[in-house]
């Protein structure tokens, strides 16, 4: 049976319409060996840690650019305190979901950038990888990342151009692909997934978000990963066996602390 790692989801924080036990059983049955739960806000940290422990998965703590509030300075302090006090937690595998969103109108871009940089500094200090959100902001995201050369990780739900994908890969980042692969209209996403070297690819569901074409009303589920792999292997005309082995290894390279979790 092929094995998968869902490198980005929100299980335990946002509802998939079923219990955590049901999510765990369904994921396991689909070959999902491990996953990374990513946070949106400071109130998520403890819950993400609990869900990750219950599921034997990893989790990331961070402040999502879409959910920053006027108290983001306080939230950054909470993030820092939590990350430092949990640095020896084997389940804390990274900092995320962090990044920039210039797609949604009316958000404070300067605040986003300021918070993002603080989070990158924290990742650098703790030697943790990041799970990065970027919408219409990739140029600025790459500029911020370049200022923290020790920080690597995943560009989640990659939606840039082929040129940007190759650039990010050449700088040592992994690119996450998921539900968007299943839409024939997602031409850019599919083009990037086709031309990148397999060594830079990750699979993710963003569950319960980014629903696949075959369940466009959502929610998405970690158990959707085998279908995403199938689509990817069709797009690349590459065997799913080979591809899944490479992507599994990439996931451990992107989030090194997952190795200990998957070895158990
Ligand atoms: Zn997400």
- Measured in Å, residue 38 CA sits from the centre of ligand 1 at 7
Judge contact between 59 and 29, C-beta under 8 A. no
Q: Is the pLDDT of residue 12 over 90?
A: yes
Give distance in angstroms: CA of 8 to centre of ligand 1: 6
Q: Which one, of 146, 193, 147, 148, lies nearest residue 174 by Cα?
A: 193
Number of domains in the chain: 1
Question: Angle 45-55/72-85 helices, nearest 10 degrees?
Answer: 30
**Ion ligand 1 — residues with CB < 5 Å:** 97, 206
C-alpha 13: how far from chain center: 14
The pLDDT tens digits of the residues spanning 96-143 come to 999 999 999 999 999 999 999 999 999 999 999 999 999 999 999 999
Closest residue by Cα to residue 96 from 65, 127, 75: 65
Residues 6 or more apart from 158 whose CB is under 8 A from it? 165, 168, 175, 176, 177, 189, 192
Q: Tell me how far the alpha carbon of residue 170 lies from the centroid of ligand 1, in angstroms.
A: 24
**Average model confidence (pLDDT) across the chain:** 97
Find the 37 Cα to ligand 1 centroid distance in Å: 9
How many whole angstroms from 10 Cα to the centroid of ligand 1? 6
Does the structure show a pLDDT above 90 at 9?
A: yes
Burial of 167 (0-12, 13-18, 19+ CB in 10 A): middle
Calculate the dihedral angle through the C-alpha atoms of 149, 175, 36, 233, rounding to the nearest 10 degrees. Answer: -150
pLDDT of amino acid 71: 86
Q: How far is the CA of 210 from the centre of ligand 1 (A)?
A: 9
Beta strand pairing status for 4-9 and 58-61? Answer: unpaired
Tens of pLDDT, residue by residue over 163-176, are 999 999 999 999 99
Does 264 score more than 80 pLDDT?
no
**Residue 68 structural domain:** 4-263
Tens of pLDDT, residue by residue over 153-164, are 999 999 999 999
Task: List C-alpha distances in Å: 131 to 24, 140, 186, 191.
Answer: 22, 16, 22, 22
Tens-digit pLDDT profile for residues 198-227: 999 999 999 999 999 999 999 999 999 999
Q: Calculate how far, in angstroms, residue 177's C-alpha sits from the geometric centre of ligand 1.
A: 12
Q: Among residues 18, 20, 33, which one has the least CA distance to residue 225? A: 33
Q: Which residue has the tokens 């970027």?
A: 134
Residue range 47-71, pLDDT digits in tens:
999 999 999 999 999 999 999 988 8
Q: Residue 60 Cα, ligand 1 centroid: separation in angstroms?
A: 11
Nearest residue to 36 via CA among 152, 157, 131:
131
Q: How far does the centroid of ligand 1 lie from the alpha carbon of residue 87, in Å? A: 22
What CATH number is given to the structural domain containing 230? Answer: 3.20.20.140
């Amino acid at each position: 049976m092929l094995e998968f790692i869902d490198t980005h989801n929100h299980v335990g924080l946002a509802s998939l319409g079923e219990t955590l036990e049901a999510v765990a059983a369904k994921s396991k049955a689909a070959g999902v060996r491990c996953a990374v739960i990513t946070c949106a806000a400071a109130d998520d940290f403890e819950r993400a840690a609990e869900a990750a422990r219950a599921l034997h998965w990893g989790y990331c703590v961070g402040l999502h650019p879409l959910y920053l509030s006027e108290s983001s300075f306080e939230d950054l302090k909470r993030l820092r305190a939590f990350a430092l006090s949990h640095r020896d937690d084997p389940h804390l595998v990274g900092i995320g979901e962090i990044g920039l969103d210039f797609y949604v109108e009316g958000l404070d871009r300067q605040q986003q950038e300021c918070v993002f940089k603080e989070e990158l500094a924290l990742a650098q200090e703790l030697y943790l990888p990041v799970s990065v959100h970027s919408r219409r902001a990739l140029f600025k995201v790459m500029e911020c990342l370049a200022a923290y050369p020790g920080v690597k990780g995943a560009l989640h739900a990659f939606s840039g151009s082929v040129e940007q994908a190759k650039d990010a890969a050449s700088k040592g980042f992994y690119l996450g692909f998921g539900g968007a692969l299943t839409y024939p209209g997602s031409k850019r996403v599919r083009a990037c997934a086709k031309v990148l070297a397999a060594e830079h690819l990750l699979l993710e569901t963003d569950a319960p978000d980014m629903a696949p074409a075959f369940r466009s009303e959502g929610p998405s589920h970690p158990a959707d990963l085998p279908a995403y792999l199938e689509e990817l292997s069709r797009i690349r005309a590459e065997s799913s066996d080979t591809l899944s082995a490479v992507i599994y290894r990439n996931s451990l390279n992107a989030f090194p602390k997952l190795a200990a979790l998957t070895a158990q």
